[in-house]
């Protein structure tokens, strides 16, 4: 196959609509689409979709091996035009094709954490094939597609030959691009990027990206993700979307998801649901965890009991420091920070508080009691948000323990939970005038 | 008991789904709409009433296609045009949309200027003030909370219905005129007819309606409620339109008063409000104009940026979404500036803008029809044959009317 060697890159828009000739130099149609197959990072050309006829259009796919030449002048294939099969619609469900799935579609830019629309696709010419190198999301891409690029360039050049605009290509490497094509059978997104790319996006940004998608893409993407990414998204979106996603999930998916979400996030969500729905979901979750959740749901939302999470590290008071450190290493946490360690007796009474730094500084054979803070501060289940905030600010705590009337440790409140409450409180008045809305 | 429970559940679902159709309908009754209907009644009496039966059917069919596309694909109309037809066609479609909406926005500011006249305030004061107010409302994100105020103020239209009854029209004649098409091969009549269709089924409505349904996140199971929303909206808008025509026919047409300024149009409310009719009309016109002046530039900027793939949204800064803000601001500035040209005639401007809508409507409808029949997008929810027949009939008749108008204007 011969691709003009003068250029290393070619834009897909330069190929679209160009004539296709068969081996006898007969014009058999025009270049319509490019089928690509995944290969390592950059997908590589696998077939050419030819379109002919108007208004009754017909489509045919030519295997890439049968292509003699392809460049902005057009394509030549090695076989006879009459040997091709034509179809009424170009709708191959398995493959990724540029025109149908990427060009003009919305994709996720995992590098800049945004949902973007593809104006053009830049292909890299590698000896026998074309590789997707970049997607073009800039104004020059738009002009090129409209066919105005050359004339606009000419005008700009005549005014200012060094204009910034002339070199202002806005290209994004394919390795950062996650397409959002939905497989019509499984109704999931074809994820050919490693999910690691999505995992690297901070949870809050991932939630924002998610909210930028339309409802159908949201459901499809959510279904396609692994549990870690699902959890990240679920805890960073609004209640309406959360509810929608759960309605689209199977019971098993719901239970997996909620078992993996920290108890304070889970109760935040559950307490907004109607009672019968909450009950149904609690029944799906692991017995032990659901008991804890329903207990948490019993507390008022703006009391310490309603705010707290039940994920914390509590260690028996006679434990030696090295044993305590080992215990901490073995613990798996859903999301809460683990700087603080609570020292308890056999009946779960809160005795003392210590933190990781203090533990590490203490001798390994000392009892953990020796590393404890001189005084332990705590709040009660019914303490108000204001009291909690006041104590945490006063003693500069990242987390504060919550006890019941018998001084039995119930949970902890972390600074992020308090902060979100306080922000909501401080902005309530502002919000009445300024409703931040999407449109 | 169980039946009662499901009944209430259904009502609840409907309440959560409704909105897009009804809001679109009320925005549709804008300054251009009120003026066009008033002039239609004042100059032609009941001669145009028959057109409302086909218009209601057409409006329901067209708006229903939009909601269906929104629910099935989860995408706005501009999104779909871009994804299915590519950049070039999107660019031309968006140019058409921007063009027609600039005209519409001009007519909204014309409505504001007309109500300024009635209130006895200078338009050089009220028009810029409203322009700044509208711009600020959206950019500061205050719009959503004000929307309800606008909607409540839309109860003003009830005045036309009361006024309609008070003017004691000949109901038999009305019934007769609404069944017997009274078509006249006359330039002014056809211009009026295109205007009436254009103001009732405007191109921007399809984009706006589809985006609002998408935003509501309505699921396919609840689609039937969304359809009900569309139907109610279509009836509301047309019943009001019919009453405006009846009132104007009864108060102005019979007395041979032609509408040259807003003052003449306000006389239609005299049976109800007596000498206060000018203030009542001015209030209604101002509310309708400002309401639509909020929606139109926003919905245009939204659709264009959606189609061209530019950043959207009032929760982004100017630097993040420069095209969005520029377009939005430009439409408001142009709309207000044209009205501030000294000596500009307000009523003709409003009529011309509505006729432009009618002429541009078929282009938008063709795109919609191609999209809604695309099996890959719509699956089993593509149009039925009957539906397509009706839609094609609408497109063909709109094109014929426009061509006829074109010939009568330029050939004779």
pLDDT in tens, chain A (439 residues): 444 445 788 889 888 889 999 888 889 889 998 888 877 678 888 888 998 887 788 888 888 888 888 888 888 888 888 888 888 877 666 678 888 888 888 888 888 888 888 989 998 888 778 888 888 888 888 888 888 888 888 888 888 887 777 777 788 888 888 888 777 666 777 665 555 677 777 777 888 888 888 888 888 888 888 888 888 888 888 888 888 888 888 888 888 888 888 877 888 888 888 877 887 887 777 777 777 777 777 776 677 777 788 778 888 888 888 888 888 887 766 655 567 888 888 888 888 888 888 888 888 888 888 888 888 888 888 888 888 888 888 888 888 888 888 888 888 888 877 887 777 666 655 444 444 443 3
Domain closes at, from A299, A331, A359: A299
Contact with chain A for residue B5, Cβ under 8 A: no
- Within-domain flag for B98: no
- Within-domain flag for A268: yes
Domain closes at, from A249, A273, A299: A299
- Chain A contacts of B315, Cβ < 8 Å? 436-438
| Residues 6+ away with beta carbon under 8 Å from B100 | B202, B203, B204, B353, B356, B357, B360
The alpha-carbon gap from A100 to the nearest alpha carbon of chain B, in Å, equals 8
Q: How many domains does chain B have?
A: 1
- Within-domain flag for B301: no
Q: Which of B40, B54, B29 is nearest to B178 (CA)?
A: B54
- Chain A contacts of B82, Cβ < 8 Å? 104, 117
**Domain range enclosing B49:** 20-93+145-282+346-410
CB contact under 8 A, B314 and A439: yes
Residues A4 and A121 in one domain: yes
B256: left (phi over 0), alpha (psi -120 to 50) or beta: left
Q: Which of B8, B28, B387, B10 is nearest to B212 (CA)?
A: B28
Burial A338-364 (b: 16+ CB within 10 A, else e): eebbbbbeeebebbbbbbeebbeebee
- Within-domain flag for B316: no
For residue A314, the SS3 value is: strand
Q: Give the chain A residue nearest B137 (alpha carbons).
A: A434
- Within-domain flag for A434: no
Alpha carbon of B128 to those of A124, A387, B109, B262, B345: distances in Å? 53, 50, 9, 19, 18
Residues A49 and A191 in one domain: no
Residues A10 and A144 in one domain: yes
- Within-domain flag for A198: yes
- Within-domain flag for A335: yes
Contact with chain A for residue B140, Cβ under 8 A: yes
Q: Which residue has the higher pLDDT, B94 or B169?
A: B94
Residues A230 and A167 in one domain: no
Residues A58 and A40 in one domain: yes
Angle at CA A433, nearest 5°, toward A431 and A435? 55
The DSSP secondary structure of B372-395, one letter per residue, reads HT-HHHHGGGSPPHHHHHHHHHHH
Residues A162 and A209 in one domain: no
Residues A312 and A257 in one domain: no
Q: Give the chain B residue nearest A184 (alpha carbons).
A: B376
Q: Which helix (H) or strand (E) holds A31?
A: strand A27-37
pLDDT at position A54 is: 78
Which residue in the set B87, B140, B214 is minimally distant from A214, CB to CB? B214
Alpha carbon of B332 to those of A233, B96, B138, B294: distances in Å? 38, 17, 12, 9
Locate B39 and state its tokens: 């002039």
Q: Give the chain B residue nearest A216 (alpha carbons).
A: B74
- Chain B contacts of A116, Cβ < 8 Å? 309
Other CB atoms within 10 A of residue A204 CB = 12
For residue A10, the SS3 value is: strand
| Residues 6+ away with beta carbon under 8 Å from B20 | B67, B209, B212, B213, B216, B226, B229, B230
The alpha-carbon gap from B280 to the nearest alpha carbon of chain A, in Å, equals 29
Which residue in the set A106, A146, A435 is minimally distant from B144, CB to CB? A435
pLDDT at position B334 is: 92
Residues 332-391 of B with CB under 8 A from A: 375-376
- Within-domain flag for B320: no
- Within-domain flag for B32: yes
- Chain B contacts of A215, Cβ < 8 Å? 74, 214, 217, 219
The alpha-carbon gap from A385 to the nearest alpha carbon of chain B, in Å, equals 29
Highest mean pLDDT among A210-219, A266-275, B88-97, B273-282: B88-97
| Residues 6+ away with beta carbon under 8 Å from A242 | A234, A269
Which residue in the set A119, A214, A438 is minimally distant from B87, CB to CB? A119
Chain A and chain B share a number of CB contacts under 8 A equal to 74
The alpha-carbon gap from A241 to the nearest alpha carbon of chain B, in Å, equals 9
**Pairing relationship of beta strands A74-77 and A19-21 according to DSSP bridges:** parallel
Tell me how far apart the alpha carbons of residues B44 and B50 are, in angstroms, rounded to a whole number: 12
CB contact under 8 A, A119 and B309: yes
Residue with tokens 């199971």: B221
Residue B330 pLDDT greater than 90, yes or no: yes
- ipTM (interface predicted TM): 0.75
pLDDT at position A437 is: 40
- Chain B contacts of A117, Cβ < 8 Å? 82, 308-309
Residues A159 and A267 in one domain: no
Tell me how far apart the alpha carbons of residues A368 and A344 are, in angstroms, rounded to a whole number: 11
Q: Give the chain B residue nearest A120 (alpha carbons).
A: B87
Band of the pLDDT at B392, cuts 50, 70, 90?
Answer: very high
Burial of B13 (0-12, 13-18, 19+ CB in 10 A): middle
pLDDT at position A439 is: 33
Q: What is the CATH number of the domain that holds A193?
A: 1.25.60.10
CB contact under 8 A, A215 and B217: yes
Interface test with A, best of B73, B77, B87, B93 (most A CBs within 10 A): B87
pTM of the predicted model, to two decimals?
0.77
The alpha-carbon gap from A82 to the nearest alpha carbon of chain B, in Å, equals 28
Q: Give the chain A residue nearest B216 (alpha carbons).
A: A215
Q: Which of A279, A275, A347, A339 is nearest to A312 (CA)?
A: A339
CB contact under 8 A, A142 and B140: no
Q: What is the CA radius of gyration of chain A?
A: 30
Handedness of CA B301, B307, B309, B314 (dihedral sign): positive
Interface test with B, best of A113, A177, A439 (most B CBs within 10 A): A439
Which residue in the set A137, A145, A439 is minimally distant from B86, CB to CB? A145
Q: How many domains does chain A have?
A: 3
Taking each helix axis from N to C end, the angle separating B322-340 and B346-372, rounded to the nearest 10 degrees, works out to: 150
Alpha carbon of B202 to those of A330, B78, B251: distances in Å? 66, 15, 28
The alpha-carbon gap from B74 to the nearest alpha carbon of chain A, in Å, equals 6
Residues of A in CB contact (< 8 Å) with B are 89, 91, 103-106, 116-119, 137, 142, 145-147, 184, 214-217, 240, 244, 433-439
Biggest CA pair distance of chain A:
93
Tell me how far apart the alpha carbons of residues B22 and B20 are, in angstroms, rounded to a whole number: 6
Residues 154-183 of B with CB under 8 A from A: none
- Within-domain flag for A381: yes
Tell me how far apart the alpha carbons of residues B120 and B114 are, in angstroms, rounded to a whole number: 10
The alpha-carbon gap from A269 to the nearest alpha carbon of chain B, in Å, equals 19
- Within-domain flag for A161: yes
Residues A152 and A87 in one domain: yes
Highest mean pLDDT among A195-204, B144-153, B188-197: B188-197
**Residues, chain B:** 412
Q: What is the CATH number of the domain that holds A26?
A: 2.30.30.240
Residues A2 and A116 in one domain: yes
- Within-domain flag for B338: no
Q: What is the CATH number of the domain that holds A394?
A: 3.10.580.10
Angle at CA A408, nearest 5°, toward A404 and A413? 65
- Within-domain flag for B275: yes
- Within-domain flag for A431: no
- Within-domain flag for B385: yes
Residues A16 and A123 in one domain: yes
Contact with chain A for residue B302, Cβ under 8 A: yes
Other CB atoms within 10 A of residue A199 CB = 15
B345 neighbors B354 (Cβ within 8 angstroms)? no
Locate B354 and state its tokens: 């509505």
Q: Give the chain A residue nearest B146 (alpha carbons).
A: A433
For residue B170, the SS3 value is: coil
Q: Could you write out the three-class secondary structure of B304-346?
A: HHHHHCCCCCCCCCCCCCHHHHHHHHHHHHHHHHHHHCCCCCH
CB contact under 8 A, B141 and A435: yes
**Pairing relationship of beta strands A129-136 and A171-173 according to DSSP bridges:** antiparallel
Residue B14 pLDDT greater than 80, yes or no: no
- Within-domain flag for A436: no
The alpha-carbon gap from B94 to the nearest alpha carbon of chain A, in Å, equals 13
Residues A4 and A151 in one domain: yes
**Domain range enclosing A220:** 179-299
CB contact under 8 A, A436 and B217: no
């Amino acid at each position: 196959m011969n691709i003009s060697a003068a250029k290393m890159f070619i834009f897909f828009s330069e190929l679209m609509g160009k004539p296709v000739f068969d081996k006898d130099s007969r014009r058999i149609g025009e270049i319509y689409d490019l089928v690509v197959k995944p290969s390592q990072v950059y997908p590589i050309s696998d077939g050419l979709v030819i379109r002919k006829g108007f208004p009754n259009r017909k489509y045919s796919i030519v295997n890439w091996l049968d292509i003699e030449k392809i460049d902005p002048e057009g394509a030549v294939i090695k076989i006879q035009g009459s040997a091709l099969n034509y179809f009424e619609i170009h709708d191959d469900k398995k493959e990724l094709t540029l025109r149908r799935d990427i060009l003009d579609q919305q994709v996720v830019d995992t590098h800049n954490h945004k949902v973007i629309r593809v104006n053009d696709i830049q292909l890299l010419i590698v000896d026998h094939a074309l590789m997707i190198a970049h997607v073009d999301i800039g104004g020059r891409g738009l002009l090129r597609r409209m066919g105005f690029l050359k004339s606009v360039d000419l005008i700009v050049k005549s005014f200012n030959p060094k204009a910034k605009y002339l070199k202002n290509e806005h290209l994004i490497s394919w390795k950062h691009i996650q397409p959002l094509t939905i497989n019509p059978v499984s109704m999931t997104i074809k994820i050919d990027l490693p999910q690691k790319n999505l995992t690297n996006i901070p949870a809050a940004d991932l939630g924002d990206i998610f909210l930028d998608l339309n409802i159908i893409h949201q459901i499809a993407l959510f279904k396609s993700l692994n549990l870690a990414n699902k959890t990240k998204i679920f805890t960073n979106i609004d209640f309406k979307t959360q509810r929608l996603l759960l309605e689209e999930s199977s019971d098993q998916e719901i239970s997996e998801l909620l078992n993996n979400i920290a108890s304070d996030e889970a109760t935040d969500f559950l307490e907004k649901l109607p009672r019968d729905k909450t009950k149904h979901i609690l029944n799906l979750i692991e017995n032990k965890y659901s008991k804890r959740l329903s207990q948490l749901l019993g507390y008022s939302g703006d009391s310490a009991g309603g705010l707290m999470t039940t994920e914390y590290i509590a260690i028996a008071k006679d434990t030696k420091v090295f044993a305590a450190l080992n215990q901490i290493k073995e613990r798996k946490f859903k999301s809460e920070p683990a700087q603080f360690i609570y020292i308890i007796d056999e009946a779960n009474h809160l005795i003392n508080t210590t933190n990781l730094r203090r533990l590490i500084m203490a001798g390994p054979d000392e009892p953990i009691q020796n590393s404890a803070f001189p005084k332990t501060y705590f709040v009660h289940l019914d303490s108000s948000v204001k009291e909690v905030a006041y104590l945490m600010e006063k003693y500069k705590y990242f987390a504060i323990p919550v006890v019941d009337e018998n001084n039995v440790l119930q949970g902890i409140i972390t600074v992020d939970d308090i902060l979100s409450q306080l922000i909501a409180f401080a902005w309530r008045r502002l919000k009445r005038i300024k409703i931040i809305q999407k449109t | 008991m169980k039946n009662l429970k499901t009944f209430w559940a259904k009502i609840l679902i409907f309440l959560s789904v409704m909105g897009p159709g009804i809001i679109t309908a009320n925005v549709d009754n804008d300054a251009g709409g009120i003026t066009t209907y008033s002039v239609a009644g004042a100059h032609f009496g009941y001669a145009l009433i028959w057109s409302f039966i086909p218009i209601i059917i057409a409006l329901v069919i067209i708006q229903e296609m939009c909601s269906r596309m929104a629910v099935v694909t989860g995408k706005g109309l501009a999104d779909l045009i871009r994804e299915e037809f590519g950049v070039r066609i999107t660019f031309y479609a968006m140019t058409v949309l921007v063009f027609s909406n600039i005209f519409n926005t001009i007519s909204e500011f014309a409505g504001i200027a007309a109500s300024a006249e009635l209130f006895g305030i200078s338009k050089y004061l009220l028009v810029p003030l409203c322009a700044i107010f509208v711009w600020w409302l959206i950019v500061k994100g205050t719009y959503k909370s004000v929307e309800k105020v606008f909607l409540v103020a839309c109860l003003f239209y009830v005045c036309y219905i009361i006024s309609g009854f008070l003017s004691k029209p000949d109901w038999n004649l009305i019934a007769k005129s609404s069944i017997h098409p009274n078509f006249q091969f006359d330039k002014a009549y056809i211009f009026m007819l295109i205007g009436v269709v254009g103001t009732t089924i405007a191109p921007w409505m399809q984009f706006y309606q589809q985006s609002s349904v998408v935003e509501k996140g309505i699921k396919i199971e609840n689609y039937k409620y969304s359809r009900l929303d569309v139907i109610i909206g279509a009836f509301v808008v047309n019943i009001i339109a019919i009453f405006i025509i009846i009132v104007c026919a009864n108060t102005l047409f019979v007395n041979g008063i032609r509408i040259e300024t807003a003052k003449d149009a306000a006389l239609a409310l005299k049976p109800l409000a007596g000498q206060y009719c000018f203030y009542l009309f001015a209030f209604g016109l101002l509310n309708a104009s400002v309401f639509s002046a909020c929606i139109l530039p926003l919905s245009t900027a939204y659709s264009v940026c959606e189609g061209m793939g530019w950043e959207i949204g009032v929760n982004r800064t100017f630097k993040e979404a420069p095209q969005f803000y520029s377009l939005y601001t430009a439409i408001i500035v142009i709309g207000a500036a044209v009205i501030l040209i000294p000596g500009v005639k307000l009523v003709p401007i409003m009529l011309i803008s509505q006729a432009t809508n009618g002429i541009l409507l078929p282009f938008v409808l063709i795109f919609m029809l191609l999209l809604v029949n695309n099996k890959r997008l719509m699956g089993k929810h593509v149009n039925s044959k009957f539906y397509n027949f009706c839609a094609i009939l609408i497109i063909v008749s709109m094109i014929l009317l426009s061509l006829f108008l074109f010939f009568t204007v330029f050939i004779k």
